[in-house]
Chains A and B, each alone.
Chain A
């Protein structure tokens, strides 16, 4: 068993690591839910302000705003449906003989028989072909939003396929059936049936209000960053500095004091210095000098690194003496972690977000995986250092070198040297039997 304070610190560190992992997982899960939902079938939103329809072609594709159908239209639809239901049945019989390409679709359509009627009703509306009365229908039906749309529309598509001579693409199915242009607007309700991003994603269009706001947004951000870099407020800057100066002098604190934030930042820099210096040392030590010049250079570099380490240590000693440890007690519930975000603290944040271009899903996955791997390694290194700082002294201090100590050694070895994944074996050499 480990001593209490050591246990507490180590457990706290590991729990921190687990928590930050869990937090990332939660964020990812949220994004996954949204993305999965987008890739299933859904209804594109009706734009609240009806967009000016540029032409019949667009009508067919862009979901238009809805009005409720007039009873007249519905009655006529009913009539047409009954006529054409018959036609559907006939065609179905023909195509069935010709072999089914979509057995799953078939079962779907069979299962939805009440819906089928409603769907063929809709379908029939598209087949108004050469009827004279249809000139009234196109407009009405274009704006018609069929009430029981969801299930029936979905089933509609599935019924469609076998009658469509096996055409797979749902978007394409509309075209070959309808020659006359008047029929084209009628496709609008059908275009709103099963919408999947895969098939009809390229037909989407962002609403106008949003586009305006977004472009204004990026314009304003660009302006904000450009005036920041130019010295538009010289007088203001002077006034600000004057104010800060006065604040400092009236407060009675020496201006040379370091704020805790600055101390922390400096310690962070020196920690980074340590790892960079260590890396460099490793590189020099593994290099194999071939001639006297390389040997001399290696020596000089190592001595230079030594000097730098000395400087860093000196700076740390200065910081240490200039600072006293503060017992802040339990942090208030709304603790302010890293009051200023370490990232993007400069003027660079103020541009519109720069782009990261990728060309394939594979590339994106590699990129994301590497990012996670780097983060994980950073965490592992941090944990390793903490564990080393806590556990090695324990092993050193314990004098009784009996079995408990061996067990501790073995456990510490596994934690520190194998990441807790593997264990070594310790054998005791027994005296020979004789």
Chain B
């Protein structure tokens, strides 16, 4: 009764630890199924399956950014989940064999969920994805998927042959859309600038200084403000649960071991190769082709230079070889740094998350955040690089076409003016 239970874990406590841990987990998950679902899933009860399919779908698909996507039928969600898990390399075959209608498979789905949770900071990522954004945010990196969209959905119209003029028309349309986009963006920035400067001094957080559009909007529209507040509060609940989960998760993992143990062992699979979607394979081929082209060009550049060099190197003294070695070392380090640039994603100094825009007086004390001037510098150099690349590509095409046409006598090519 009055005994202190400090060292020895009370069995009642231990028995409670698991359900409490699961309860905390469900609080932090986006569409938290009830803890009861987890228990049913361990015993592979069929009622657990639909809730877990939905949860997995939620976890695996990024939140739709603009507007709510129409909620899908369970079968479609199940198929998407299977595809996504396969894409991530989920090892268990049994999941792929589950029926799509959600009638069975509670245990397999539970294992899949645990696998996702164990592999990476899944919960934190989920929270970050659906995070309530209070400021006016601007991404600082280029990771937007503008250059590599998702798999091309075949267009609705009949797949007929098109003329090059149709392509030219589409490109013109694209150019026009970009121009419009630029103009709209400029206007939005001007408006943002105004809103920020008109509300300076209003924010309770002194480091921010002024209100953002979201915050001003909540003052204008109280209902919207209430909704925002509720979202914030819900997120706070989830955040607290996530923090508590860290303290309690050990018992969950011990339990998952037992769940895994309860599964019949899978027959060893015939070794077959992993699959990538067709679009990924096409991209691989594209990169191979580019690298091969680059290789040819490098070869064409190196051979004459090497020959010329060998011809020049006559008998030189020992100081010659010392400086040569120094140069070799310098070049080697140079290239290692270059290699690092693509292998480590350009170094960890590159910020990746969207930043909150804050208007300050020029010459404000540094150290509070990223300065717009720095980002502009980086972007300018990036722009210059890309323009060079594009110019090179176009030059390549020009040469190639000139070569192809040059075989024909009696033609005069007049390039377009004004470049």
The yes or no answer to B376 lying at the interface (CB within 8 A) is yes
Chain B residues near A246 (CB-CB < 8 A): 257, 260
Chain B residues near A367 (CB-CB < 8 A): 138, 372, 375-376, 379
B193 touching A364, Cβ below 8 Å: yes
Interface pick from B3-11, B12-20, B41-49, B60-68: B60-68
The yes or no answer to B271 lying at the interface (CB within 8 A) is yes
A332 touching B76, Cβ below 8 Å: yes
CB B348 to nearest CB in A, in angstroms, measures 8
The yes or no answer to A37 lying at the interface (CB within 8 A) is yes
Query: A interface, how many residues as a size bin?
Result: 35 or more
Bound Cα distance A279, B375 (Å): 21
B357 touching A358, Cβ below 8 Å: yes
A206 touching B219, Cβ below 8 Å: yes
* Residue of chain A at shortest CB distance from B170: A14
B356 touching A395, Cβ below 8 Å: no
* Residue of chain B at shortest CB distance from A396: B404
Bound Cα distance A139, B72 (Å): 57
A409 touching B405, Cβ below 8 Å: yes
The 7 listed contacts between A and B (C-beta, < 8 Å) are A22-B177, A207-B225, A224-B243, A260-B87, A271-B290, A276-B341, A348-B352
A334 touching B276, Cβ below 8 Å: no
**17 additional contacts (CB under 8 A) given A25-B177, A35-B192:** A11-B162, A38-B220, A44-B220, A45-B218, A232-B247, A242-B253, A252-B268, A301-B331, A305-B335, A316-B284, A336-B61, A353-B354, A356-B372, A384-B390, A417-B398, A424-B413, A426-B412
Bound Cα distance A104, B394 (Å): 57
The yes or no answer to A240 lying at the interface (CB within 8 A) is yes
B376 touching A370, Cβ below 8 Å: yes
B253 touching A357, Cβ below 8 Å: no
* Residue of chain B at shortest CB distance from A278: B294
* Residue of chain A at shortest CB distance from B222: A45
B277 touching A260, Cβ below 8 Å: yes
Query: B interface, how many residues as a size bin?
Result: 35 or more
B327 touching A275, Cβ below 8 Å: no
User: Provided the pairs A32-B187, A243-B256 are in contact, do residues A261 and B62 lie with their beta carbons within 8 angstroms?
Assistant: no
CB B172 to nearest CB in A, in angstroms, measures 6
CB A204 to nearest CB in B, in angstroms, measures 5
In the complex, which of the residues B235, B379, B412 contacts A217, with contact meaning CB atoms closer than 8 Å? B235
Bound Cα distance A31, B410 (Å): 58
* Residue of chain B at shortest CB distance from A203: B202
B358 touching A357, Cβ below 8 Å: yes
B339 touching A370, Cβ below 8 Å: no
A279 touching B89, Cβ below 8 Å: no
CB B333 to nearest CB in A, in angstroms, measures 10
CB B321 to nearest CB in A, in angstroms, measures 12
Give 10 nearest A-B pairs by CB, closest first.
A259-B89, A355-B369, A326-B275, A361-B193, A201-B198, A422-B416, A239-B253, A356-B355, A411-B164, A251-B91
User: Provided the pairs A240-B253, A342-B143 are in contact, do residues A333 and B284 lie with their beta carbons within 8 angstroms?
Assistant: no
The yes or no answer to B319 lying at the interface (CB within 8 A) is no
User: Provided the pairs A38-B220, A204-B216, A259-B274 are in contact, do residues A332 and B79 lie with their beta carbons within 8 angstroms?
Assistant: yes
